[in-house]
C-alpha cells in the first residue's frame, strides 16, 4: 500500500488519539497553547524570523496540522514577519480532509486558516506536495512517507526544527539516532530545535549530532521540554541572489511556467520568443493530456509524472478561468488482456485513493465511453485535457509587474559577459541582458553553442483535428498507444506521431491515416466515414531526451564531465539554466519543473526528493557511463 492513512478517534476527554500508535495528538491542557509554548517558544519564534527575507521550518510529524496552524497564525499576526516562510513537514500516516475537519473544530481561533488548509489538502499519495498559501508568501511542503526514509532525500536548509511525534516508546523510529543525523544534515548553521521529549536516548542522539541542548520548563503538567541549537560550522546554505533579473528564452509551457514561478518570488523576468504570441511551438496544440503514469514498482517515471500531474493541477487552480482545461477524466485502456492484468494488479498493490486512480473493467469502460471496447483500464477521475497555449498566456499574464515579454524576436546567440548573459538577435542587437539566463527553447535550443552538447532530439509530432459533427461524442480523454480528447472549438484532437529526426513541417495524409488507425484500435468503428485526406491538423517538434525525462537545472560545462561520477563534481556555466527535453509530456512536466527551477535558483527547499531532482538534472548525461545508460534506456522509456 502506498499510504496507510491515520485513523482518528477521540478519547473520553475529547482529545484526538491515533489508533495506529495508541497515543494522543496533543496534551489535554490545550493543543494550540502547547504548540506555542513548545515549538514556537522553544525555537525563539517569532523573534528569529523577523526582518528575514526567508525562514525555513522543518517538522517531523504533521499530524493534525496544529503546529503549522499555530505557526501560520503567529506569522500572519507579526508585522515584522519574514517575507517568505517555508514550512516543511513529514507525515507517514496523513489524515483525510474529513478527519482534519473533525479535529480542527476544537480550535475556532484557527478556523479560516484551517479551512484554507483543508481546501488545498492533497491526495494521500506518496511524495512531496507543495501548497502556496497567503499569496505565495507561506509555502507548506508536505512530504507523505516514512521520515526515516524521506528525510534523507530532502533538500532544505532548516532554520528551526519541530521535533514532534508520538512518544518514543510508541514510535521509536521517529526519535532514532539515524533520524537525528538526517535532521542535522538538513539543519542550517545556527538552526534551533525544540521538542517536548527530554528522554535520555533522545538527548544523547541529538548531542551526538552537534546539537547543544538545554532543558526548559515544559508545558502544563510536563515539567521539562528540550531546546537546542546546531553548533556545526558547515558552510552556510544558498543565499538569495541579490540581482533578481532573469532572461527566459522561450514562451512555451516550459518557459512560461518557469517565468511565472520566478516572478512569484519577486524576480524581474524578460521572456523572449521567436513567435508572435506565447505557446506557438510544440505548445500550440488545441489540447494536451494531463494524467500520471503509474507503475507497480512506483519507479521514477511514475513518481515524477505523479508529482507533475498534481503540480499542474494546483497551478491550473491558481491561474483561474483564463486557462482552458477540463477535468473530464482520463481513461487509459489496456493494450490487451495481459496488460489489463498488469493494470489491475498495479491498482490492487498500490491501493491508491479512488479520486486519484482506480481500475475499471471492460463493461465499466464501455459505459464510461458510451462505446464498446475490448478491455478495461486505468481511470483517472481528476485527469483531463489542457490547452497548452492558454496555460502559457495565463502564466505570463499573472505577474504583469514582474514579467516583460518580447515576441517575434528570434535569438541567434547567447553570450556570457562580466555582468551576466546577453541574448542577441540575428542582426547582433541585444534583445535582453541579465545575470541569469534560462533556456526553454524547445527543439531549437541546441543550436545555441552553450547547449549544443545536450543529447536532445527533435521529435516530429502530427495531430489530427476531427470535426465534432463527423464523429460520435467523446466526453473523456482516451489513451492507448495514442490519445483522443473531447471536442475543443469544434474538433476532437487525435494523435500523435512521434518521429525522431524527421524535420518535415508539412502535414501528411499518411500521418492522419495513422492517427485514425490508432483511434480505431481504441474505439472500433469510431472513425467510420472519416477520410484522412480531408483532415487538417498540426505539426509540432518536441524536444526529447534519450531517457524521456526532462533536462532541468543548471547547465554544466560540456568538457567538465566524463570523468565525474557525481553531479556536484561538475563545473557549471555560471548563471546558465535550462528547461529542456519535455517531449510529449509538456503539460505534465511544466508546473513541477518550473517550481524545481525557481527553488534551486533561490535556494529554497526543493519540491521533489533529491533522487528525482538528480534524475532530471542536465548534467546526468555528462557523468561517467552516461552514454551506456542512455543506450540501454532510450528504446524502452516513455
Q: Which residues pair with 455 in a beta bridge?
A: none
Cβ neighbours for 358, distance < 8 A, ≥ 6 positions apart: 347, 352, 378, 379, 381
Inter-residue contact 386 to 587 (CB < 8 Å): yes
Give CA–CA dist 266/386, Å, rounded.
27
Given the C-alpha cell 480550535, which residue does it identify? 107
Categorize the per-residue pLDDT at 627 as very low, low, confident or very high, splitting at 50, 70 and 90. low
- Tens digit of each residue's pLDDT (9 = 90 or more) over 455-485: 999 999 999 999 999 999 999 999 998 999 9
**What is the CB neighbour count within 10 angstroms for residue 391?**
31
Inter-residue contact 175 to 205 (CB < 8 Å): yes
Q: b/e string for 268-277 if b means 16 or more Cβ within 10 A?
A: bbbbbbbbee
The candidate with the shortest Cα–Cα distance to 523, out of 486, 470, 472, is 472
Cβ neighbours for 39, distance < 8 A, ≥ 6 positions apart: 59, 67, 70, 71, 162, 164, 194
Cβ neighbours for 167, distance < 8 A, ≥ 6 positions apart: 23, 197
Cell of 19: 489508533
Q: Does residue 257 come out as left (phi exceeding 0), alpha (psi in the -120 to 50 range) or beta? A: alpha
Cell of 486: 473531447
Above 60 in pLDDT, residue 145?
A: yes
Tell me the pTM: 0.94
Q: Is residue 297 exposed (0-12), middle (13-18) or buried (19+ Cβ within 10 Å)?
A: exposed
Q: Is residue 10 exposed (0-12), middle (13-18) or buried (19+ Cβ within 10 Å)?
A: middle
Inter-residue contact 582 to 550 (CB < 8 Å): yes
- Tens digit of each residue's pLDDT (9 = 90 or more) over 47-106: 999 999 999 999 999 999 999 999 999 999 999 999 999 999 999 999 999 999 999 999
What stretches of 172-273 show up as alpha helix (H) in DSSP? 177-186, 200-208, 253-264
Give CA–CA dist 255/607, Å, rounded.
18
CA atoms within 13 A on the CB side of 407: 12
Which CATH number does 8-230 carry? Answer: 3.40.50.150
Three-state secondary structure call for residue 53: coil
Give CA–CA dist 244/457, Å, rounded.
32
Q: What is the mean pLDDT of residues 112-116?
A: 97
Classify domain 245-281+389-456+546-633 at the CATH superfamily level.
Answer: FAD/NAD(P)-binding domain (3.50.50.60)
Above 90 in pLDDT, residue 412?
A: yes
Two domains, one topology: 8-230 and 245-281+389-456+546-633: no
Q: What is the mean pLDDT of residues 162-181?
A: 85
Q: Which residue has the higher pLDDT, 10 or 518?
A: 518
Categorize the per-residue pLDDT at 168 as very low, low, confident or very high, splitting at 50, 70 and 90. confident
Q: b/e string for 54-65 if b means 16 or more Cβ within 10 A?
A: bbbbbbbbbbbb
Categorize the per-residue pLDDT at 636 as very low, low, confident or very high, splitting at 50, 70 and 90. very low
Categorize the per-residue pLDDT at 635 as very low, low, confident or very high, splitting at 50, 70 and 90. very low
The candidate with the shortest Cα–Cα distance to 580, out of 616, 611, 631, is 616
Categorize the per-residue pLDDT at 420 as very low, low, confident or very high, splitting at 50, 70 and 90. very high
Per-residue model confidence (pLDDT) at position 418: 86
Above 50 in pLDDT, residue 632?
A: no
Give CA–CA dist 479/474, Å, rounded.
12
- Tens digit of each residue's pLDDT (9 = 90 or more) over 241-295: 999 999 999 999 999 999 999 999 999 999 999 999 999 998 999 999 999 999 9
Above 60 in pLDDT, residue 628?
A: no
Give CA–CA dist 463/604, Å, rounded.
39
Share of the chain above pLDDT 90, in %: 86
Q: b/e string for 562-588 if b means 16 or more Cβ within 10 A?
A: eebeebeebebbebbbbbbbbbbbbbb
Per-residue model confidence (pLDDT) at position 591: 98
Give CA–CA dist 86/270, Å, rounded.
27
Q: Which residue has the higher pLDDT, 17 or 346?
A: 346
Cβ neighbours for 496, distance < 8 A, ≥ 6 positions apart: 461, 462, 463, 482, 483, 515, 584
**Distances from the Cα of 552 to the Cα of 208, 315, 385, 493, 562, angstroms:** 37, 19, 24, 29, 19
Cell of 250: 522561450
The candidate with the shortest Cα–Cα distance to 444, out of 455, 430, 458, is 458
Per-residue model confidence (pLDDT) at position 28: 60
What are the extents of the domains in the chain?
Answer: 8-230, 245-281+389-456+546-633
The candidate with the shortest Cα–Cα distance to 26, out of 44, 43, 8, 49, is 8
Inter-residue contact 156 to 58 (CB < 8 Å): yes
User: How do beta strands 138-144 and 84-91 pair?
Assistant: parallel
Per-residue model confidence (pLDDT) at position 485: 97
Per-residue model confidence (pLDDT) at position 70: 97
The candidate with the shortest Cα–Cα distance to 463, out of 493, 504, 502, is 493
- Tens digit of each residue's pLDDT (9 = 90 or more) over 325-381: 999 999 999 999 999 999 999 999 999 999 999 999 999 999 999 999 999 999 999
Cβ neighbours for 35, distance < 8 A, ≥ 6 positions apart: 26, 66, 67, 69, 70, 71
Element (H, E) at 579: strand 572-580
Amino acid at each position: 500500500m502506498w499510504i496507510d492513512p491515520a485513523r482518528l478517534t477521540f478519547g473520553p476527554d475529547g482529545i484526538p488519539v491515533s489508533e495506529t500508535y495508541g497515543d494522543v495528538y496533543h496534551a489535554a491542557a490545550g493543543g494550540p497553547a502547547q504548540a506555542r509554548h513548545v515549538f514556537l517558544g522553544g525555537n525563539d519564534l517569532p523573534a528569529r524570523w523577523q526582518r528575514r527575507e526567508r525562514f525555513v521550518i522543518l517538522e517531523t510529524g504533521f499530524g493534525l496540522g496544529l503546529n503549522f496552524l499555530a505557526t501560520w497564525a503567529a506569522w500572519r499576526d507579526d508585522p515584522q514577519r519574514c517575507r517568505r516562510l517555508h514550512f516543511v513537514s513529514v507525515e507517514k500516516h496523513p489524515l483525510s480532509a474529513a478527519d482534519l475537519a473533525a479535529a480542527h473544530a476544537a480550535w475556532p481561533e484557527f478556523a479560516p486558516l484551517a479551512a484554507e488548509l483543508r481546501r488545498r489538502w492533497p491526495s494521500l499519495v506518496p511524495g512531496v506536495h507543495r501548497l502556496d498559501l497567503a499569496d505565495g508568501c507561506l509555502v507548506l511542503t508536505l512530504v507523505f512517507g516514512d521520515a526515516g526514509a524521506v528525510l534523507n532525500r530532502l533538500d532544505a536548509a532548516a532554520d528551526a526544527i519541530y521535533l514532534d511525534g508520538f512518544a518514543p516508546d510508541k514510535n521509536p523510529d521517529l526519535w532514532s539516532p539515524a533520524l537525528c543525523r538526517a535532521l542535522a544534515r538538513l539543519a542550517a548553521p545556527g538552526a534551533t530545535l525544540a521538542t517536548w521529549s527530554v528522554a535520555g536516548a533522545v538527548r544523547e542522539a541529538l548531542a551526538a549530532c552537534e546539537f547543544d541542548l538545554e532543558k526548559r520548563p515544559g508545558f502544563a503538567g510536563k515539567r521539562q521540554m528540550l531546546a537546542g541549537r546546531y553548533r556545526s560550522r558547515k558552510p552556510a546554505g544558498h543565499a538569495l541572489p541579490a540581482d533578481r533579473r532573469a532572461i527566459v528564452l522561450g514562451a512555451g509551457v516550459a518557459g512560461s511556467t518557469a517565468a511565472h514561478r520566478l516572478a512569484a518570488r519577486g524576480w524581474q523576468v524578460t521572456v523572449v520568443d521567436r513567435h508572435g504570441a506565447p505557446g506557438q511551438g510544440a505548445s500550440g496544440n488545441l489540447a494536451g493530456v494531463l494524467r500520471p503514469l503509474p507503475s507497480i514498482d512506483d519507479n521514477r517515471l511514475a513518481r515524477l509524472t505523479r508529482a507533475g500531474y498534481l503540480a499542474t493541477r494546483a497551478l491550473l487552480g491558481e491561474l483561474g478561468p483564463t486557462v482552458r482545461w477540463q477535468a473530464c477524466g482520463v481513461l487509459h485502456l489496456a493494450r490487451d488482456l495481459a496488460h489489463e492484468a498488469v493494470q489491475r494488479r498495479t491498482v490492487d498493490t498500490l491501493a491508491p485513493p479512488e479520486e486519484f486512480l482506480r481500475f475499471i473493467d471492460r463493461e465499466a469502460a464501455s459505459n464510461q465511453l458510451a462505446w464498446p471496447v475490448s478491455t478495461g483500464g486505468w481511470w483517472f477521475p481528476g485527469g483531463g485535457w489542457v490547452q497548452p497555449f492558454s496555460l502559457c498566456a495565463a502564466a505570463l499574464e499573472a505577474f504583469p509587474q514582474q514579467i516583460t515579454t518580447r515576441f517575434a524576436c528570434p535569438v541567434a546567440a547567447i553570450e556570457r559577459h562580466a555582468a551576466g548573459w546577453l541574448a542577441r538577435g540575428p542582426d547582433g542587437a541585444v534583445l535582453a541582458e541579465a545575470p541569469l539566463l534560462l533556456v526553454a527553447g524547445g527543439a531549437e535550443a541546441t543550436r545555441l553553442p552553450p547547449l549544443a552538447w545536450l543529447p536532445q532530439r527533435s521529435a516530429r509530432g502530427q495531430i489530427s483535428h476531427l470535426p465534432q459533427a463527423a464523429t460520435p461524442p467523446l466526453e473523456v480523454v482516451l489513451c492507448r498507444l495514442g490519445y483522443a480528447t473531447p471536442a475543443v472549438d469544434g474538433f476532437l484532437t487525435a494523435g500523435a506521431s512521434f518521429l525522431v529526426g524527421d524535420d518535415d513541417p508539412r502535414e501528411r495524409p499518411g500521418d492522419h491515416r495513422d492517427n485514425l488507425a490508432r483511434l480505431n484500435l481504441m474505439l472500433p468503428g469510431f472513425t467510420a466515414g472519416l477520410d484522412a485526406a480531408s483532415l487538417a491538423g498540426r505539426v509540432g517538434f518536441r524536444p526529447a531526451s534519450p531517457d524521456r525525462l526532462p533536462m532541468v537545472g543548471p547547465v554544466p560545462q560540456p568538457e567538465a564531465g566524463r570523468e565525474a561520477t557525481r553531479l556536484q563534481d561538475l563545473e557549471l556555466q555560471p548563471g546558465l539554466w535550462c528547461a529542456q527535453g519535455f517531449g510529449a509530456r509538456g503539460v505534465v512536466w511544466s508546473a513541477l519543473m518550473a517550481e524545481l527551477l525557481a527553488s534551486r535558483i533561490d535556494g529554497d527547499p526543493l519540491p521533489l526528493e533529491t533522487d528525482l531532482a538528480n534524475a532530471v538534472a542536465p548534467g546526468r548525461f555528462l557523468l561517467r557511463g552516461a552514454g551506456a545508460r542512455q543506450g540501454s534506456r532510450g528504446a524502452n522509456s516513455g
